[in-house]
Structure formats: C-alpha cells, structure tokens
C-alpha cells in the first residue's frame, strides 16, 4: 500500500509524519509511505496503527506491485479511509446543524462529479428555496469562503466549459444583487459573498483567447508541453488558480525564463506544484522560454490576465470600472477618473489618491441608494468592493513610511469615512465629525488637544472591537459546523472569523489607531495602561520573551503571562487569565479578539517601573483589577481552587474613609477630598465650558 494523508479527501495527498507510525515494515519515500501486505491463510492483509493528536481526517492510498511496477487506483482517483472517525463523528454530532448546512454538506462531501459551476448553481437554488435572510446568507458566505481559500475541491470528475461557469456566476451574483439593502447587516453579508466570486462576464473569451495566442505565436498543441497542458485545463475547467498561473508565467517571461520565479509566485499565492499536478487536466511540465517570443507573449498574456480577472475576480479595480462604465453618472466619474488615471502611478501622493477613492465611494453610494435596479446594481456593488479593496492597498503600502501627526490625522479621517461607507453607524458618524474638528487643530499639539484626540480614538476603538466581535459571533458557529464537515484544515476553522474581520475597512482604522495612540499618550502625559480586553484576573505570574513559545500549552493553574513580544496572531493558552505586555497591540489582532471572547485580561503597560515590579513578582500569585479609565490595580494574593480563581481578596488597609461633615455637599464645594472622580470632573467640566453651555446642577 502506497499511502499518505489528506484534509480534503481523495483529491489531496500529503506526506505522513513518521512519528505517527512505529512499524519496521513501513518504508517512508518522498511524499508517501509504503507498507507491504502479509500473506494470511490464503489472503493478504495489512494492519496500520496510527497515533497522534493532529492526525488529518483521511488516509489516501493506491496499491503498488513492486515486481511489475503496476499501480491500482480507485478509478481515476485515490482510495480513502477515514481516520479518527469516532472522534470526528462526536464533533459533528455535538453541532446543531440547520437544514441549509446539512444540504450543503451532503452535496459537497459525496463522491459525485463536482465543479465550481455546480457549487454556484446549488447556492443560487438553495437561496431561492430557503430565502435570502441574514442567517442563510451568513451560512452561504462561510461555505463560499471555504471554497475561495481552497478548502473545497474545485473539480471532481467533470469538465465545465468556461461559458457554463460564467453563466452560473452571473445568475448567482444577479440574485444576490437583487436582495441587496443599503446600510443593513443583510447588505453587508451580500457584499461579503460577492467578494468570494468573480463577475462571470464572457467566459467563452477564456477558451478562445488562449487558442488565439497559441496560434498567433505558432505554439503547437503538443502534449508534454506547459502551454498545451494549461490550454487543456482552461478549456475543461478554468478556475481562479488560472489568474495566479498567468501572473506566474508573466514573472517567468519578465525574468527571461527563470523557472524558480514561476514557482515562487505560485507558492506565494497558495498554488503548489502538487496542486498543479492534481487537476483533472494536470500541469506536470515546467514552462519553456523562447527569447524571440518574449515581448509578444508578455503583451498577449497581460491582456489574457485581464480576461481571466473579468471572469474570476470580483475585487479587481480595472475589471470593475470597465464593467460598470455604462452604469455610472458624470458625478461619480468626476472623482473616479482620477483614480483610474493614477492607480498605477506610484508617484501620486497616497493621501490624495485615498481621498479620491473615498469621494468616489461616497458618490457611488448615493447612486446605489437613488437607483436600486438589479441590472445596474451588480456592477455598482462590484465597483464599490473593488474601491474598498484598493483603499486598503493604498494605505497599507504607505502607512509605514510616515509618522507625521498631520498625515496620520488626515489618514484617520479618510479611513473612518471609508469604514462608515461600508458599515453605516450613527455613533461612527459622530466620531467622524468629532475627529474632523480635533484634527483641524492638529498643529496645536498641546496636552489638551492630545486628550481630546485620545477621547475620540477610544470611542473608535470600542466600535472597531465591537465590529470584530460581532463578526465572530455571527460567523464562527457556522465556520465550526461547516469546517468540520468539510474536513477543512484546523487553522482555517480556528481563524475563520478573525481573518474575515481583518479583511474589512475596520482593520485600516485599527492600524492607524495603534500608530496614533502611542503618540497621543506621550503628548497627553496619560496613564500607564492600555486595556485591550477589560477583565479582572488572578493567577501566578510567569515571565516570557514571546507569547508564541507557549502555543498549545495548557496551564494547570490560573496564570498571568508577562510577555515581552506579542505578534498578534497567537492563541491565548488554556488556563491563562491575563496577558500583560509592553508591546503595542492591534485591536483587531487574533490574540485581541480571542482575549475579549474568552474573558481574558489583555493590557499594554507603558511604565517600565510597573513592568519591573511585575517581573519581580514572577512565581507569586497576583490579582489584576481594572479601575476607572485605563488603570489597573495590582494586588498580591488571591484564593485559587482547582483551575479557577474563585475570588479576589483586596487588602483595604490602603483606603482612608472620609470623615463625616455634612449630609449634603453643593457642587461649588466639590473637591477630591470630599467626593469621587466623577463628581470632581463635573466641576472641572463646568469651568471649561462656555457660558452659554448649561449642565444640570449637581450635589453629593
């Protein structure tokens, strides 16, 4: 038996880990293991005993006869045996799957013929049957995202002509666009689904154009050559992988035939050599370089790349602008023309370009609201998605180049409005108005300006965190159910919702918030803490250089981790009640979202003195209690039972009870010795406000 393992059934083959099997008879060869059968009373049998916590769900194999070098397959594919079946069944049975989820799983996991066309047609039909409400749309998004990140097969024993695929995309995207509601959660999910799809457009051009290129350059249709193998794949089942293959081939041409560049680009996009060989029309051969054809092929394949993106890519800006050209008015084009003329011009000032992107989106949204017709709606929605995606590219590739407060302040204004265009929210609108007033005074740079700016950013932080947490609650249960049923790789299930949240416009705001926050704290002489996740915690203090080195560890007793570096993509280990770090943290990082959803205290400490004091407490049991604002009260000792900190004991000796003087204190007599911080701040606010601003009278 020549065997390997798989996360996705018969269509995938991975090398087994030698630690899973202790068997002298088994030989490990490149990419596989070979175990001989034994003769037993007239028949041959074989027993494998595999052990390991991370065994993939499927064993894949073929039969090999060494003497004759004959191979036996299961038809045209591999044989499969489920591993850890009882454990997987228990996981599946513990989920509460809806009718729609079960229908999807039943069609996806059977062994019948299947392609992207079948998937998109099924999605269309199921939404027509079940109704396009928020829950059903969320389930369909999770399903189609698993497909987009290659956790589901794109072809199984079936050839789909490009025109048939483009027709299935066309009818699904038109159905979704007809249900779009501006400013609603339903509208948000429909845009998420569209981001996993292409435009469809004229799929027949894929089939025709590759032939035209081959004939134009006298490239023969001969088997065993890269171009012919790719041509056969394109004819029989074009997929989004073809965009990556075309880009890789162009890299190969640019580099005068460097095959390593070809495969490096493919690997960076998630297309491995094994994946190329796994297609029903396999690509087994390296591309070959003909010097005198270089310039002509570059010209033709740049054009062919646009054709492929027109079918498969929903967020490509060129494709979206061309498709929507007849569906836009002059008002939109007045802004969009600048973007079209400058989006490849690296010399353009990035904030000017970002400003035009936001202005284009603003006018496009006005047009969408004023004319909600399904035919034009689809192209307008795809254009809005493409502009939203391009905004992220512009900000991310330039943000690290500046620390200037004026530039960061303007970038924040644009990114907040970009977020508001995607997720309309009254509180966010108020934040935008407030931030614009604050940023108009950015040259002041006084302590009071920094305090005001920080106040807005803290409100924005809550909105960003809340948005990420809402996505987690909305999508993760479906991601868990479907991911287990699809045999998806574990990391794609665990990180599903976090990755979705980080792909949204809120992520740009979180990045800018992180940069600005540190500057504002310094100017405002603020406290020593930033709370990422506000929880009380107790446990034994442990000091670590990085959070990554305790991934997968389970602490037997409540533990407070004092960590020098946090990358943001780590998990919070089981048994950890708090993570304290001097490292600046992204509010939408995986670690931050997990901490908030798990009830774990997560805080950044800016004070070297406090950090040194905590380091000196390593091995001791401490309690950390968030107070007013962003402060944390650190206390020694707590009561621990088993794995939980049952209660936190606070030593009250440090508190002095005020001496009684009178039953009632008027506002004019408020002072820190007589009343608390809230009452004191009312008095301070009165003194700051203009005379025509009135606050309610107060007493204590």
Whether 590 is a known active-site residue: answer yes
Name the one residue in this structure whose structure tokens are 């003329």.
Answer: 341
Class of residue 537 by CB neighbours under 10 A (exposed 0-12, middle 13-18, buried 19+): buried
Q: What's phi and psi for 281, nearest 5 deg?
A: -105, 85
Asked if residue 76 lies in contact with residue 113, where contact means CB atoms within 8 angstroms, the answer is: no
Asked if residue 100 lies in contact with residue 144, where contact means CB atoms within 8 angstroms, the answer is: no
Residue 154 is encoded by which pair of tokens?
């794109």
Residues contacting 251, CB < 8 A, separation 6+:
258, 261, 262, 264, 265
Q: Helices 204-216 and 162-178 sit at what angle, rounded to 10 degrees?
A: 140
Return the half-sphere exposure (C-beta side, CA atoms, 13 A cut-off) of residue 137. 23
Count the helix, strand and coil residues of the chain and give each as a percent rounded to the nearest 5.
55, 15, 35
Residues contacting 556, CB < 8 A, separation 6+:
575, 643
Residue 12 is encoded by which pair of tokens?
């995938």
Buried b (16+ CB within 10 A) or exposed e, 139-158: bbbbbbbbbeebbbbbbbee
Distance of CA 121 to the CA centre of its chain: 26
What's the CA gap between 577 and 586, in Å, rounded? 20
> Pick the catalytic residue: 118, 231, 590, 686?
590
Q: Which of 76, 174, 84 is nearest to 132 (CA)?
A: 174
Angstrom distances, CA of residue 588 to CA of 416, 470, 596, 627: 15, 12, 10, 23
Q: What's phi and psi for 420, nearest 5 deg?
A: -65, -35
Q: Map residue 674 onto helix, strand or coil.
A: coil
Q: Which of 622, 494, 632 is nearest to 557 (CA)?
A: 622
Asked if residue 641 lies in contact with residue 618, where contact means CB atoms within 8 angstroms, the answer is: no
What's the CA gap between 493 and 490, in Å, rounded? 5
H or E element in which residue 65 lies = strand 58-65
Asked if residue 644 lies in contact with residue 565, where contact means CB atoms within 8 angstroms, the answer is: no
Provide the annotated active-site residues.
590
């Amino acid at each position: 038996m020549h065997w390997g393992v798989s996360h996705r059934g018969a269509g995938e083959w991975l090398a087994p880990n030698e630690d899973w099997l202790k068997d002298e008879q088994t030989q490990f060869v490149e990419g596989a293991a070979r175990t001989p059968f034994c003769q037993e009373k007239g028949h041959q049998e074989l027993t494998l005993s595999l052990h390991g916590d991370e065994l993939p769900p499927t064993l894949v194999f073929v039969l090999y006869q060494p003497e004759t070098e004959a191979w036996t397959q299961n038809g045209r594919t591999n044989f499969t045996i489920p591993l850890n079946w009882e454990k997987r069944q228990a996981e599946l049975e513990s989920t509460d799957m809806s009718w729609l989820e079960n229908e999807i799983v039943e069609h996806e996991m059977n062994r019948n013929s299947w392609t992207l066309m079948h998937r998109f047609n099924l999605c269309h039909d199921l939404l027509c049957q079940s109704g396009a409400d928020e829950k059903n749309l969320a389930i369909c998004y999770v399903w189609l995202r698993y497909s987009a990140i290659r956790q589901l097969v794109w072809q199984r024993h079936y050839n789909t002509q490009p025109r048939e695929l483009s027709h299935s995309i066309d009818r699904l995207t038109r159905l979704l666009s007809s249900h779009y509601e501006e400013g609603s959660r339903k509208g948000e999910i429909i845009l998420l689904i569209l981001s996993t799809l292409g435009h469809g457009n004229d799929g027949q051009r894929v089939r025709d154009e590759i032939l035209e290129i081959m004939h134009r350059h006298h490239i023969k249709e001969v088997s065993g050559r890269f171009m012919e193998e790719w041509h056969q794949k394109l004819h029989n089942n074009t997929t989004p992988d073809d965009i990556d293959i075309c880009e890789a081939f162009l890299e190969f041409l640019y580099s005068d035939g460097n095959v390593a560049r070809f495969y490096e680009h493919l690997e960076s996009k998630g297309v491995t050599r094994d994946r190329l060989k796994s297609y029903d029309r396999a690509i087994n051969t390296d591309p070959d370089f003909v010097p005198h054809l270089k310039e002509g092929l570059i010209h033709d394949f740049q054009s062919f790349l646009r054709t492929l993106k027109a079918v498969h890519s929903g967020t490509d800006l060129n494709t979206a602008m061309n498709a929507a050209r007849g569906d836009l008015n002059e008002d939109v084009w007045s802004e969009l023309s600048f973007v079209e003329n400058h989006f490849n011009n690296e010399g353009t000032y990035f904030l000017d370009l970002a400003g035009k992107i936001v202005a284009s989106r603003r006018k496009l949204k006005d047009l969408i609201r004023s004319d909600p017709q399904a035919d034009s709606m689809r192209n307008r929605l795809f254009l809005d998605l493409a502009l939203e995606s391009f905004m992220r590219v512009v900000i991310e590739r330039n943000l690290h180049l500046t620390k200037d407060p004026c530039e960061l302040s303007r970038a924040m204004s644009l990114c907040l409005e970009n977020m508001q265009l995607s997720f309309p929210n009254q509180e966010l609108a108020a934040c935008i108005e407030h931030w614009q007033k604050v940023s108009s005074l950015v040259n002041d740079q006084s302590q009071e300006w920094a305090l005001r700016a920080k106040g807005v950013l803290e409100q924005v932080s809550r909105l960003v965190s809340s948005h990420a947490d809402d996505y987690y609650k909305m999508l993760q249960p479906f991601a868990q159910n479907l991911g287990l049923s699809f045999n998806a790789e574990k990391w794609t299930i665990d990180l599903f919702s976090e990755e979705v949240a980080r792909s949204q416009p809120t992520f740009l705001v979180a990045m800018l918030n992180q940069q600005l926050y540190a500057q504002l704290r310094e100017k405002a002489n603020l406290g020593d803490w930033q709370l990422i996740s506000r929880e009380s915690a107790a446990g034994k203090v442990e000091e670590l250089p990085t959070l990554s080195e305790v991934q997968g560890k389970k602490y037997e007793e409540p533990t407070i981790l004092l960590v020098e570096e946090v990358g943001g993509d780590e998990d919070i280990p089981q048994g950890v009640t708090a993570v304290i770090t001097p490292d600046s943290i992204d509010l939408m990082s995986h670690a931050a979202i997990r901490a908030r959803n798990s009830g774990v205290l997560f805080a950044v400490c800016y004070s070297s003195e406090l950090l040194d004091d905590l380091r000196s407490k390593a091995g001791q049991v401490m309690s950390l209690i968030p107070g007013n604002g962003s402060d944390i009260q650190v206390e020694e000792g707590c009561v621990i039972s088993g794995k939980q900190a049952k209660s936190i004991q606070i030593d009250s000796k440090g508190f002095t009870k005020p001496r009684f003087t009178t039953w009632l204190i008027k506002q004019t007599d408020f002072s820190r010795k007589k009343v608390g911080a809230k009452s004191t701040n009312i008095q301070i606010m009165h003194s700051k406000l203009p005379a025509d601003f009135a606050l309610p009278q107060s007493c204590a």
